[in-house]
A and B are shown apart, each in its own frame.
Chain A
């Protein structure tokens, strides 16, 4: 085989460069302080236990009459949408004149072990009420992201009168597409045994699952990539900020996790039917408000086909789909995302005032 053409001198230089960067990296890391994240000023509007509703403050007053309520996933922290100044979906929505609220679910502890999906939906409902009261409205624009998108779909189906326009981003809808590795892994799990044993499901366990979706890239190759930027403190800081978010995963409230695994991942009831939350059946046909569905073409967590299934299961005639060229993380933080996603949301909403 003549596939390798390693020039000895160049190979040696490559190794030396890597080791030099590693050595220099100790200084870079030592001189970096704690990384900051969540850059846009926000005020607390309402709180119930660990759940907090915030309103972001832009550099100018919002021009939009109907605010956007961001519903983020339970499995990660919501500051991903406002990670840093030049990587902030929120900041760019505000710049477009939107008025943005967000729900922070906090970090569940043992006392939250019996929180159900209905408890989370009730928090969404109360947050919409708070916003409605402040603005004299009857309904808000809902922006559900990832698992928060699935919760938003349930909410919009159960409380359609409270949602003026629904936007879903990288949201799983059909959990049984053939390329959905996470879903594949959950099928044989005994969710009852798991939750009865663990109580709350540790964030570290969740992270382990995510890392093992692409174990070689995410455990090894990614950190080798860090070598390339070790002499650039700014880039290292960006890397560490992302690293912080990735591993800053809240534990999952046991009962909500049990239902999400059983009914969504295993039963695929969101589209098959039979999903009951808080005693009421979730029927996506009741979603008749305008819907904008944004998915990522290279999403390894929520396959595009899983998101695109939404088109066929909701009741609205006003359905728009946007494909983002990137992955599940890139849709929040890439420069392309900052250029494309917030303006697209703003334009779509502006056409539906």
Chain B
């Protein structure tokens, strides 16, 4: 390198300076404060950016920073490798297996664990509670498991049991997360091996990789291929499913605790709101059916239909009664409706409100079919 006049160390330093300036400018753009010249040290710009109120283009700038940051990290890895190996032959050989530690940092920024779809004080408390076990001070997971299964006593036994259930769920979640991250790490390593293979394929004269961008694109291709292979495996399917289910279990239990706490303060709980929403949905359907019936009656006298010479749709057609018959097992109640204490769709269909009965009676009087639209008589 040096014999070709390329002082990688010098350029690396210069590049890092410029990179900070550029990131400072982008962070300013994302905040919308116009301070394009503002330079930030380290990655404090990132936290600052995230804490700012949303402004137009901020989200795009944030994503852009993330994406280009990935590439800049890639470039930095390569340049630092060059800087450390100035006496080595140019072009640099043995990449990526001889890559320096910086490459590892770059790898660490790659997709890993999914974000947990829960949060709040309960989770922070759980993290503190389980920290000793995570650090090995509590006797490990087996010891924790036995602790969570101990019988509860006394006035607070119900609370103790709920706390134990939450603790178990949290532990299952940590285990699932660990399995997921381990699989992702395997996938990332497989991606590196593929990357190496792809580079080997470019070793023939005339096929060499001649730009950092081309090198990066090759890396992305390799990483995606390895990831796809992992993501379509049966192992991933099981681990992914277990992780999502474990997350939901933790969230559900923490929501239960929040509901108890807010309920004790006299605030409406989610269960109550859900029940109201279920009733609202039911009412909407009933109103819609009434509107359908009223509309069908109006259309039977619609002069435009007659003027256009269009045969009037039979009441059966108008109300969608060409729908196939309901299967025998369709009266099974849905879990949601059981939870919300609302009538299931099929059960609902067998009920009839006053308004519906009135409409049916009117229809009967007019010698019209009395079945509701959609074939749900």
Contacts and interface: CB of A to CB of B under 8 A. Distances in A.
6 contacts: A114-B282, A129-B318, A189-B245, A195-B336, A213-B231, A280-B326
Contacts of A5: 91, 208-210
Contact of A196 (B64, B220, B252, B295): B252
Nearest to B244: A189
B212 A14 contact: yes
Interface residues of B, number: 122
A274 to B, nearest CB: 8
Nearest to A9: B6
**Nearest 4 interchain pairs by C-beta:** A223-B67, A188-B241, A8-B6, A5-B208
Contact of B66 (A7, A12, A34, A219): A219
Contacts of B34: 30
Q: Counting chain A CB atoms within 10 Å of each CB, which of B26, B61, B336, B349 scores highest? A: B336
Interface in A260-301: 276, 278-281, 283, 286
Nearest to B252: A197
Contacts of A77: none
A1 interface: yes
A179 interface: yes
Q: Counting chain B CB atoms within 10 Å of each CB, which of A7, A190, A254, A280 scores highest? A: A280
Given A158-B324, A184-B231, A278-B345, A114 B295 contact: no
B330 A188 contact: no
A71 B220 CA distance: 36
Contacts of B317: 138, 161
A126 B287 CA distance: 13
A59 B209 CA distance: 51
Interface in B198-240: 199-203, 207-213, 215-217, 220, 223-224, 227-228, 231-232, 236-238, 240
Contacts of A2: 91, 93, 203, 208
A346 B6 CA distance: 61
A188 B242 contact: yes
Contact of B310 (A136, A178, A190): A136
Contacts of A129: 295, 318
Contact of B231 (A10, A25, A181, A286): A181
A352 interface: no
A116 B346 CA distance: 12
A181 B229 CA distance: 10
A110 interface: yes
Contacts of A34: 56
Interface string A179-222: 10100110111101111111100100100100011111101111
B299 A133 contact: yes
Given A185-B237, A279-B346, A3 B203 contact: yes
Q: Counting chain A CB atoms within 10 Å of each CB, which of B66, B210, B320, B330 scores highest? A: B320
Given A113-B277, A114-B336, A220-B220, 7 more contacts: A5-B209, A33-B56, A125-B320, A185-B241, A189-B241, A219-B111, A280-B326
Given A8-B90, A181-B232, A3 B61 contact: no
A333 B29 CA distance: 29
Q: Counting chain B CB atoms within 10 Å of each CB, which of A10, A29, A185, A208 scores highest? A: A29
A352 B7 CA distance: 71
Contacts, number: 294
Interface size class for chain A? 35 or more
A283 B67 contact: no
A189 B71 CA distance: 34
Interface stretch (A15-23, A91-99, A140-148): A15-23
B232 A184 contact: yes
Interface in B9-50: 11, 15, 18-19, 21-22, 25-26, 28-29, 32, 34, 36
A160 B68 contact: no
A258 B336 contact: yes
B60 A187 contact: no
Contacts of B249: 193, 197
A119 B287 CA distance: 13
Interface stretch (B125-133, B134-142, B146-154, B368-376): B368-376
Given A193-B245, A216-B227, A22 B277 contact: no
A6 B210 contact: yes
B364 to A, nearest CB: 22
Contacts of B285: 119, 122
B111 A7 contact: no
B376 to A, nearest CB: 5
Nearest to A157: B324
B136 to A, nearest CB: 30
A225 B226 CA distance: 22
B278 to A, nearest CB: 5
B323 A280 contact: yes
B323 A4 contact: no
B208 A160 contact: no
A221 B67 contact: yes
